[in-house]
Structure 1
């Protein structure tokens, strides 16, 4: 087995890959600084990517690198690749590694560390093999951030809560709508959502900047795919000040019936904090689920200390999956 380390993404075309579901276009879009490739019998079957100097506000006293794009066949190879990557990163003068992280929290990150195995993975949920956790711990990593997804049965109690909050919002001329009335200019809509998302997410742990161009490439295809009625916005004097993004759990299509509705993400302009728009959005997800006959709602990927998890639990949701990001001193 031979290890190659490349820093020019064009060199990827020099290798033959035998990694299931690997997209080299996706790898290139994420722009890693270096890539470790394991070649065996003239084919690449295992790899990971490295990013240096992520633009994050945390760990200012350390020189940080990320490890992501981890594609390995088993735990032994995982340990070998991670240790090779750590040695390479340390040799470059860096002293702290965060993983798994495909360049930023805008991309794929987190390990699945625990959960209800009777509930299959939902659409767009990050997936990692069980042995990843042991491999990371054995190579010296420790958890630095924890997230949960929860499951709740939609209840008609949400309807009364929606009426209560919307009546109060009306006093401030804030209304709730879906995006249908804003799609006559999709690029403007994406631009407005981009600025709102940056405003809402910039305080998140391990946040890093994202350009409008990258945001458009990432979210325009999702916008095209999703049913507009599941994309809810809060509007003040014609301006979108918050949004709620939901979708059916398309992973259940193979069972013949989709029973689960997924609350993917929401954000509210910080100027409107305290008006319970976030709470309203959680209940709106239940209302939409009830209207279309979904029997379960998943509140996805909430950080452990985020208020959204408290709202979810207050609605009676139970934890179904636990995820973590790991860090390691070098």
Structure 2
């Protein structure tokens, strides 16, 4: 077997095409899987590594230094866009070299997979018992084994819950609507004619609402807006609810999308729910979930997936209230660099 070597590059370098070639050697059904892979945060990649063997790229990772990223007792680096053939020697070289670089940079932990922050792609799937859904990345399951075999441990577990229960207590729901309206709530869908402005307000809400989340680091309002403008083709205002108070301040967001990977067109994906801290509209997310169910009844959708919930997250409790059951699971890893 030919020797392994590491090619170092960065976005914009002539050799960076090798980084982009790796998925073609890892996934035989590349055309199908490519849209589901994690994309690097090109503006913030510290360095990208490509494992080469016999003149072919057989593994890769992007290394990030995010000054705001902390875990437990110290600073953390992270690695994302990880792809690798099923070869423990390739994984060992990539992950050990990344760990050494993180240690040399003064970090106490190396977290992965994560493309710089939780605003970007992170987590590995831990089972393939069900097909992928829209906005869910795909990974080989053996990536989990490669991380565990090289000193990483699970630091975060996530779940996507599936519910087929569209039952709504209409009397209680309309009573709640009347109470919210009386309290000054304005409940509406996203206005696509002024999408940039709408996304800016959503950014302000999410940056506050998620500030206490596990491994949260801030991004700029502009970066948030650009991230969602890049996927505006997935935004259907019919499935996005905004709740404002009498002063026009955004108090809650409920962002769902159709599952374009469902051949039967029966599934709605609940991607993001957020409520402003101290919002006067208690229970508004539960109310919006009922709004979603009623709309699904009218449009013929029968399945909803509450996606990517951290095990301690409030949204997991919300999904549980509506008879959701675990559908897909994911894990995030870290390696201690102490000692």
Structure 2-normalised TM-score? 0.86
Residue from 4, 9, 31 that aligns with 2:7:
4
Q: Secondary structure at the match of 1:70?
A: strand
Could you tell me how far apart the structure 2 residues matched to 1:279 and 1:57 are?
32
Instruction: Give the corresponding residue for 2:27.
Output: none
Could you tell me how far apart the structure 2 residues matched to 1:50 and 1:329 are?
16
**How many residues are paired up?**
321
Residue from 248, 259, 264 that aligns with 1:249:
259
Could you tell me how far apart the structure 1 residues matched to 2:119 and 2:139 are?
18
1:244-296 deviation digits (Å, cap 9, x = unpaired): 111111012xx3x2111111111111131661012112222222221210111
Unaligned runs of 5+ in 2: 25-29
Could you tell me how far apart the structure 2 residues matched to 1:121 and 1:30 are?
28
CA 1:30/1:297 → structure 2, altered by over 3 Å: closer, same or farther?
A: farther
User: Is the CA contact 1:30–1:103 (under 8 Å) kept in the aligned structure 2?
Assistant: no
CA 1:111/1:68 → structure 2, altered by over 3 Å: closer, same or farther?
A: same
Could you tell me how far apart the structure 2 residues matched to 1:162 and 1:221 are?
35
Residue from 293, 313, 318 that aligns with 2:320:
313
Instruction: Give the corresponding residue for 2:45.
Output: 32
**Cα distance, 1:43 vs. partner?**
4.1
Residue from 289, 292, 299 that aligns with 2:299:
292
CA 1:129/1:160 → structure 2, altered by over 3 Å: closer, same or farther?
A: farther
Instruction: Give the corresponding residue for 2:82.
Output: 70
Could you tell me how far apart the structure 1 residues matched to 2:17 and 2:181 are?
60
Instruction: Give the corresponding residue for 2:63.
Output: 50
CA 1:321/1:159 → structure 2, altered by over 3 Å: closer, same or farther?
A: farther
Unaligned runs of 5+ in 1: none
Matches within 5 A, 1:1-330: 1-6=4-9, 8-13=10-15, 15-16=17-18, 17-19=20-22, 20=24, 26-27=39-40, 29-56=42-69, 58-59=71-72, 61-76=73-88, 77-114=90-127, 117=129, 119-157=130-168, 159-179=170-190, 182-237=191-246, 238-252=248-262, 255=263, 257-272=264-279, 275-330=282-337
1:155-181 deviation digits (Å, cap 9, x = unpaired): 2325445323222212311132112xx
Q: Secondary structure at the match of 1:319?
A: strand
**Cα distance, 1:92 vs. partner?**
3.4
User: Is the CA contact 2:46–2:65 (under 8 Å) kept in the aligned structure 1?
Assistant: yes
Structure 1-normalised TM-score? 0.88
Q: Secondary structure at the match of 1:10?
A: coil
Q: Secondary structure at the match of 1:9?
A: coil
Could you tell me how far apart the structure 2 residues matched to 1:138 and 1:104 are?
24
User: Is the CA contact 1:144–1:327 (under 8 Å) kept in the aligned structure 2?
Assistant: yes
